[in-house]
């Protein structure tokens, strides 16, 4: 099935002009007379001419589309980020091509190859939990592909990065728990290799230290795939609960881990917050409707998406190679509810 479009050549023929003249008239060049311009424009409108973006891309050597790789679209945080990206990309006439890594380094690599072969002008990526080898990404970056990291960043590559203030968010959450009287605070962390995990762990430790509570290594359990599988949250929680000194509160490190933890506690009939308090990073707008209403640290996901898109566009549209990069850290919000 073909979708026959009208081209500049058609217009030129019907109007007895050359394609160059038509092209210039459409682009409002100064070297075309008002009369011809009007004629061309009118006719173009009449026949519904739409420039072929693919031909333009080939000629201009840019595709006007940006690639986005996140671990999962159907995740409230990332879907909000995408929403933000979409909003500014759209404004600037860019397409957004989305791919999911599903927390798999292999799929991420495939997506990467795929998107770059699709001639994207730039990339926004939040690396998967599994990714340990950044060489391909690095190579792409060195070859000149504009890249912006969002949320899950890596140090090895110098470029713009957009993150939430994970340190402070975790600090605030932990401090809140301490102020509520909890002293044995378990932390359900995302994959230890992730930047967000490390920052959040630091924030957690800082709050403990400030309250003179010693940090215990066995109070930390990792969910290597960010809670994408319920089973890993379950295992982590069981590990935490079979310690000699059981935690009286849990601080969960990601959206899926937080809700996964809540699910676990419900299954085990653990009362919240009496038996065990719960606070975690989460971006669903349903947290206040949960049982109990969940205290959460909320990230400005939409704004983070917007920021990363505008940074990427500035990178793409800059004439000469950038050398100054910024890491934009956006503040999180602590919402205190019944679970703590």
Tell which one of 28, 35, 321, 323 touches its own copies (CB under 8 A). Answer: 321
**Alpha-carbon span 67 to 214, nearest angstrom:** 44
By a kind-dependent CB cut-off of 5 to 8 A, residue 330 interacts, out of DNA, its own copies, none, with none
Select from 160-168, 177-185, 208-216, 288-296 the region that touches its own copies (CB under 8 A).
288-296
φ/ψ of 318, rounded to 5, equals -75, 140
**Alpha-carbon span 260 to 279, nearest angstrom:** 12
Rg (Cα) of the chain, in Å, rounded? Answer: 25
Tell which one of 13, 56, 192, 231 touches DNA (CB under 7 A). Answer: 56
By a kind-dependent CB cut-off of 5 to 8 A, residue 32 interacts, out of DNA, its own copies, none, with DNA
- In angstroms, give the least distance from the CB of 49 to DNA: 7
By a kind-dependent CB cut-off of 5 to 8 A, residue 20 interacts, out of its own copies, DNA, none, with DNA
161 pairs with which residues across the strands?
A: 149, 327
Contact status: 145 vs DNA (CB under 7 A) = no
By a kind-dependent CB cut-off of 5 to 8 A, residue 315 interacts, out of DNA, its own copies, none, with its own copies
Residue 58 neighbours by CB under 8 Å, 6+ apart = none
Tell which one of 41, 51, 180, 235 touches DNA (CB under 7 A). Answer: 51
273 preceded by a cis bond (ω within 30 of 0): yes
Q: Kindly give the pairing relationship between strand 333-335 and strand 295-298.
A: antiparallel
Select from 190-198, 208-216, 236-244, 257-265 the region that touches its own copies (CB under 8 A).
257-265
Q: Kindly give the pairing relationship between strand 333-335 and strand 327-330.
A: unpaired
- In angstroms, give the least distance from the CB of 52 to its own copies: 6
Q: Which is nearer to DNA, 49 or 251 (CB)?
A: 49
- In angstroms, give the least distance from the CB of 88 to DNA: 23
Contact status: 144 vs its own copies (CB under 8 A) = yes
CB atoms within 10 A of CB 243: 14
CB atoms within 10 A of CB 271: 9
Q: Are 69 and 87 in contact (CB under 8 A)?
A: no
CB atoms within 10 A of CB 49: 19
- In angstroms, give the least distance from the CB of 65 to DNA: 16
Cβ-in-10-Å burial (0-12, 13-18, 19+) of 41 comes to: middle
Q: Which is nearer to its own copies, 63 or 129 (CB)?
A: 63
**Alpha-carbon span 279 to 294, nearest angstrom:** 7
Contact status: 118 vs its own copies (CB under 8 A) = yes
Pick out residues in 58-77 that bind its own copies (CB under 8 A).
58, 61, 63-65, 72-76
Q: Kindly give the pairing relationship between strand 220-223 and strand 65-70.
A: unpaired
Q: In sequence order, what DSSP letters do the residues of 124-166 get, joined into one string?
A: EE---TT----HHHHHHHHTT--EEEESS--TTS-SEEEEE-H
Tell which one of 1, 3, 35, 214 touches DNA (CB under 7 A). Answer: 35
Contact status: 7 vs its own copies (CB under 8 A) = no
- Token pair in block for residue 32: 């075309």
Pick out residues in 155-184 that bind its own copies (CB under 8 A).
none
Contact status: 291 vs its own copies (CB under 8 A) = yes
Tell which one of 19, 195, 215, 293 touches its own copies (CB under 8 A). Answer: 293
Q: Which DSSP state fits 118?
A: T
- In angstroms, give the least distance from the CB of 118 to its own copies: 5
* Positions in the binding site for its own copies (CB under 8 A): 1-4, 50-55, 57-58, 61, 63-65, 72-76, 79-80, 82-83, 86, 90, 95-100, 113-114, 116-119, 121, 143-146, 259, 262-263, 266, 284-286, 288-293, 315-316, 318, 320-322
């Amino acid at each position: 099935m073909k979708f026959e479009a009208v081209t500049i050549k058609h217009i030129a023929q019907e109007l007895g002009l050359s394609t160059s003249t038509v092209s210039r008239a459409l682009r409002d060049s100064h070297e075309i007379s008002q009369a011809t311009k009007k004629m061309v424009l009118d006719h173009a409108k009449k026949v519904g001419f739409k420039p072929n973006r693919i031909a333009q891309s080939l000629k201009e050597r840019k595709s006007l589309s940006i690639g986005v790789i996140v671990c999962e679209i159907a995740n409230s945080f990332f879907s909000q980020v995408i929403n933000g990206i979409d909003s500014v990309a759209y404004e600037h006439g860019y397409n957004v091509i989305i791919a999911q890594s599903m927390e798999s380094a292999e799929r991420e690599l495939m997506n990467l190859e795929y998107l770059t072969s699709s001639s994207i002008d730039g990339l926004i990526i939040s690396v998967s939990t599994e990714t340990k080898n950044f060489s391909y990404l690095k190579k792409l970056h060195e070859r000149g592909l504009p890249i912006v990291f969002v949320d899950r960043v890596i140090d090895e590559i110098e470029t713009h990065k957009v993150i939430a203030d994970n340190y402070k968010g975790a600090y605030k959450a932990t401090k809140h728990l301490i102020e509520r009287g909890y002293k044995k605070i378990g932390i359900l962390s995302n994959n230890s290799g992730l930047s967000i995990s490390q920052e959040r762990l630091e924030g957690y430790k800082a709050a403990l230290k400030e309250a003179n509570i010693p940090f215990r290594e066995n109070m930390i359990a990792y969910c290597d795939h960010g809670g994408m599988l319920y089973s890993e949250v379950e295992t982590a929680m069981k590990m935490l609960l079979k310690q000699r000194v059981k935690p009286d509160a849990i601080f969960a490190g990601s959206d899926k881990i937080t809700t996964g933890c809540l699910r676990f506690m419900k299954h085990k009939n653990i009362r919240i917050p009496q038996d065990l308090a719960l606070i975690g990073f989460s971006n669903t707008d349903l947290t206040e409707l949960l049982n109990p209403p969940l205290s959460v640290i909320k990230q400005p996901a939409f704004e983070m998406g917007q920021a990363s898109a505008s940074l990427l566009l500035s990178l793409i549209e800059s004439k000469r190679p950038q050398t100054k990069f910024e890491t934009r850290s956006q503040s999180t919000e602590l919402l205190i509810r019944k679970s703590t």
